[in-house]
Structure 1
Amino acid sequence: MGSRRHGERINSFEKCVLNHNGRSIQCYLEDISISGVLVNCYDVSMENIRLGDVCTIDLADDPKITHREVKCSVTRFTTTQIGLQFTY
Structure 2
Amino acid sequence: MREKRSSRRIVFVANGVLQYQSQRFPCYVENISLHGALVSSDDAACDVVRQGERCVLTLQQGDGLPPLDVAAQIIHYGFGLVGLRFVEPDAALETALAAIVGRAAQEEMAGGKGSSRLYTRLGINTDRGRWR
- The bucket for the TM-score relative to the shorter chain is 0.7 to 0.9
Q: What's the counterpart of residue 51 of structure 1? A: 51
Once the two structures are superposed, residues 7-63 of structure 1 have per-residue CA deviations (whole angstroms, 9 ceiling, x without a partner) of: 121101200000001111100111001110000111325222111010000002xxx
Q: As a proportion of its length, which structure holds more helix?
A: 2
1:80 to 1:2, Cα distance in 2 relative to 1, 3 A:
farther
Q: What's the counterpart of residue 40 of structure 1? A: 40
8 Å contact from structure 2 (residues 53, 73) kept in 1: yes
Matched, 1:20 2:15: no
Q: What's the TM-score once normalised by structure 2's chain length? A: 0.60
Bigger RCO (CA 8 Å, 6+ sep): 1
13-22 or 1-10: bigger deviation: 1-10
Q: As a proportion of its length, which structure holds more strand?
A: 1
Q: CA RMSD in A?
A: 1.8
Matched, 1:74 2:78: no
1:38 to 1:45, Cα distance in 2 relative to 1, 3 A:
closer
Residue type matched to 1:56 in 2?
V
* Structure 2: runs of 5 or more not aligned: 89-132
Give secondary structure in 1 for the equivalent of 2:2: coil
Once the two structures are superposed, residues 50-82 of structure 1 have per-residue CA deviations (whole angstroms, 9 ceiling, x without a partner) of: 11010000002xxx8511101000000112000
8 Å contact from structure 2 (residues 25, 45) kept in 1: no
Give secondary structure in 2 for the equivalent of 1:19: strand
Q: What's the counterpart of residue 29 of structure 2? A: 29
Q: What's the TM-score once normalised by structure 1's chain length? A: 0.87
* Structure 1: runs of 5 or more not aligned: none
